[in-house]
Structure 1
């Protein structure tokens, strides 16, 4: 079970590092989008600091998620981005594949949060 968790966390972290790096380097092709989706991405582009901020959070969170000692912090850092991804996939990209990937990633994130719940008790007072 320990190895399965490490492999899942490694893949999870690498996916977020890749997504974060793409926000700076733009090396992945953009998928075809509906006019409504294009409008949203144009609006995101108008806020010049938004995508670099999300990219930085994804890279930092992904790195923290991979390292077992910092995984609990990485799970918290990534959670808001993960919730945004799920909401985005269920509202603007209604493909089955996108929804499945988003839900699986959210479940991995929740699993790590639950697995580290003892570490969070001091935060909750």
Structure 2
């Protein structure tokens, strides 16, 4: 049962990031009309760096695909983690209305990282 829940959450999580990444390339989702002024300024600042949003979008797509596949989920969680921290901080500071969804996604990402913690141990094991 636990594996089914993790798979369903991972599928939804991964698809959300794939969608967000594709939107950074094709701009098919219009921004909400009620965006706070501070969020509009942040978006404008990000868009002035022409390579930044496509790079984030690429990693969202890659991370989302890796997150969906059980064998590569641990890698996908690590790829998406810094993006997730940015999303959480941006929502905390500039758009608190988006914070509940950002927090849920952050917890899902952390859960997958904790579930796969043994896969990360060789990366930090001390060499003698």
Residue 96 of structure 2: SS of its match in structure 1? coil
Residue 45 of structure 1: SS of its match in structure 2? helix
Tell me by how many angstroms 1:37 deviates.
2.1
Equivalent residue number for residue 8 of structure 2: 7
* Aligned residue pairs, count: 123
Equivalent residue number for residue 90 of structure 1: 92
Equivalent residue number for residue 42 of structure 2: 40
Aligned-partner Cα distance in 2 for 1:88–1:37: 8
For structure 1, the 5+ residue unaligned runs are none
TM-score in terms of structure 1 length: 0.95
* Contact in 1 for aligned 2:36/2:95 (Cα 8 Å): no
Tell me by how many angstroms 1:58 deviates.
0.2
For structure 2, the 5+ residue unaligned runs are none
TM-score in terms of structure 2 length: 0.93
Aligned-partner Cα distance in 2 for 1:40–1:119: 36
Of 57-66 and 29-38, deviating more is 29-38
Residue 29 of structure 2: SS of its match in structure 1? coil
Aligned-partner Cα distance in 1 for 2:46–2:86: 14
**TM-superposition CA deviations, 1:25-52 (whole Å, max 9, x none):** 0000111323322222111111000000
